[in-house]
A and B are shown apart, each in its own frame.
Chain A
Amino acid sequence: NAGVTQTPKFQVLKTGQSMTLQCAQDMNHNSMYWYRQDPGMGLRLIYYSASEGTTDKGEVPNGYNVSRLNKREFSLRLESAAPSQTSVYFCASSEVFSGSAGNTIYFGEGSWLTVV
Chain B
Amino acid sequence: KNEVEQSPQNLTAQEGEFITINCSYSVGISALHWLQQHPGGGIVSLFMLSSGKKKHGRLIATINIQEKHSSLHITASHPRDSAVYICAVGKGTDKLIFGTGTRLQVFP
Contacts and interface: CB of A to CB of B under 8 A. Distances in A.
B44 A40 contact: no
Given A42-B101, A45-B95, A100-B92, A110 B48 contact: no
Interface residues of A, number: 27
Contacts of A92: 43
Interface of A is mostly: loop
Contacts of B95: 45, 48, 58-59, 99
Interface string A18-47: 000000000000000000000011111100
Q: Which of B43, B86, B88 has the most CB of A within 10 A?
A: B43
Interface in B57-94: 86, 88-94
Contact of B100 (A42, A99, A102): A42
Interface in A53-74: 58-59
A98 interface: yes
A104 interface: yes
Top 4 closest pairs, chain A to chain B, by CB? A99-B90, A42-B98, A101-B31, A110-B41
Given A99-B89, A99-B93, A107-B35, 6 more contacts: A42-B4, A43-B86, A92-B43, A99-B94, A100-B30, A107-B42
19 contacts: A41-B100, A42-B4, A42-B86, A42-B88, A42-B98, A42-B99, A43-B98, A58-B95, A90-B43, A97-B93, A98-B92, A99-B88, A99-B89, A100-B93, A101-B31, A101-B48, A104-B48, A105-B33, A107-B44
